[in-house]
Amino acid sequence: MNTNTQDMLNILKKLQGVDKTTKVVAERAERDIDLNLAINQKVTEDSISVSKYRIDIVPRSFANKKKRFYDIYESNKLLHKDIALFETAMGVVKNLMLNKNKKVDDLIKLDLEYNNSLYEVYMYKSKAKNAINEDIMLAKMSQAQNKLYSAKQNILQKL
C-alpha cells in the first residue's frame, strides 16, 4: 500500500472513531440533562439559548450601579424577569426542561432573597461611606453579607 493510501486509511479510521464517540455522547445526553444542557447551548454576547429557552443578559440599574440580570423566555414568551444570579437562571431552565415547577418556584424565591440581601449590602455600604452612623451601618452591612452568602448557598443546594 502506498503512502497516500495509508494516510487516507488512517484518516478514515480516525473519522470512524469520532463518529462512534459522537454517538455515545448523544446517547448519554438523552439520559443526562446536564450533558444535554452543555451540548445544546447556544451562547451569544447577550443571551444563552438551551432548547426552547433563552436567557437574556440584561444590564440594569441596581442600587446606583449597573448589574447584570437575567430574563428567561420560552419561545419568546417572558417567563421570569430580573433574576440576580446566572446560576439561578440556568437552574430554572434545567428544571423547566424537567417539568419540576416546585423547584423552579423555590429557586425564584431564593434568588429574590439573594437580590434583596445584595441591595441591603450596597445600601449599608453607601451609608457607611457617607459616615451616617458608620459603625452601625458596617455591622448591618456585615449582617446583610451573611444573609447574601446564606441565600447563595441555598440556591446552590437547590441546583
Question: Domain extents for the chain?
Answer: 1-31, 32-158
Q: What is the spatial distance between Cα 31 and Cα 65, in angstroms, rounded to a whole number?
A: 42
| Cα separations in angstroms, 40 against 20, 51, 57, 79 | 19, 7, 18, 20
User: Is a pLDDT exceeding 80 seen at residue 104?
Assistant: yes
- pTM for the full model? 0.73
User: Is a pLDDT exceeding 60 seen at residue 107?
Assistant: yes
The per-residue pLDDT for 70 is 96
| Cα separations in angstroms, 135 against 1, 37, 119, 141, 143 | 84, 46, 19, 10, 12
Confidence of residue 53 (pLDDT cuts 50, 70, 90): very high
124-128 average pLDDT score:
85
76-92 average pLDDT score:
94
60-88 average pLDDT score:
93
Q: What is the spatial distance between Cα 85 and Cα 132, in angstroms, rounded to a whole number?
A: 30
Confidence of residue 136 (pLDDT cuts 50, 70, 90): confident
The per-residue pLDDT for 159 is 82
113-129 average pLDDT score:
90
The mean pLDDT value of the chain amounts to 83
Q: What are the phi and psi torsion angles at 46 (to 5°)?
A: -125, 15
How much of the chain is in helix, strand and coil states, percent to nearest 5?
65, 20, 15
49-72 average pLDDT score:
91
137-153 average pLDDT score:
91
User: Is a pLDDT exceeding 60 seen at residue 25?
Assistant: no
Q: Residues 89, 55: contact at Cβ < 8 Å?
A: yes
128 or 2: which leads in pLDDT: 128
The per-residue pLDDT for 39 is 59
78 pairs with which residues across the strands?
Answer: 73
DSSP string, 41-85: EEE-SSEEEETTEEEEEEEEEETTEEEEEEEEEETTEEEEEEE--
Q: What is the spatial distance between Cα 155 and Cα 108, in angstroms, rounded to a whole number?
A: 9
